[in-house]
Structures are given as structure tokens and as C-alpha cells.
Amino acid sequence: MKHLPAGALMIAALTATALLCASCGSSSTTTNRLVPQAQAEADLKRALDAGIITQDQYDEEIEKLRDPD
């Protein structure tokens, strides 16, 4: 079994790191919803009614749910 020179291993490691980091700057947004939208809206309404969130917070979150882009 042949051994690679230390320099070759370093270059391979740096290349792999660069490739991994290149994907970190992605500007696309993905929204994963574990709760159906209707349930999330009902939960927000209950939080509003209970005084846990303000009307402004409710409106902002409802807008995010209905238009995630």
C-alpha cells in the first residue's frame, strides 16, 4: 500500500474544506413546516387571545405563514 506525501494530504484536506464552506453562503431559504398552516394560525390566535403575543407580533407571524418568501 502506497502512502501519499504529507503535502498531498494537506491539499486534499484544504480542497475538501473549501468545497464544504462554499455551500455555506447559499442565499436560498427553505421553510420546513412540521405543523400544518391552519394549526399554526390557530396556535398564534390562541397566543394572541391569551396575551402571550401582541397584535403586531400576531400580524407579522401570520404574514410570514401566508407568504414565506
Task: Tell me whether residue 16 is in a domain.
Answer: no
**Distances 47 to 4, 43, 62, 64 between C-alpha atoms, Å:** 61, 6, 12, 16
Is residue 49 a part of any domain in this protein? Answer: yes
**Structure confidence at residue 9 as a pLDDT band (50, 70, 90):** low
- pLDDT higher than threshold 90 for residue 60: yes
Report yes or no on 1 lying in a domain.
no
Give the pLDDT confidence score for residue 67 in this predicted structure: 87
Tell me, yes or no, whether 23 lies in a domain: no
Query: Does the residue 21 lie in any domain?
Result: no
For the entire predicted model, the pTM comes to: 0.52
DSSP 27: -
Write down the pLDDT at residue 32: 64
Residue 55 lies in a domain: yes
With respect to residue 41, please indicate whether it lies within any of the assigned structural domains: yes
**pLDDT (tens digit per residue) in 13-50:** 656 555 555 555 556 655 667 889 999 999 999 999 99
* Cα dihedral: 69, 40, 61, 26 (round 10): -40
* Number of residues in the chain: 69
Q: Has residue 11 been placed in a domain?
A: no
Per-residue model confidence (pLDDT) at position 52: 96
What's the domain range around 54? 35-69
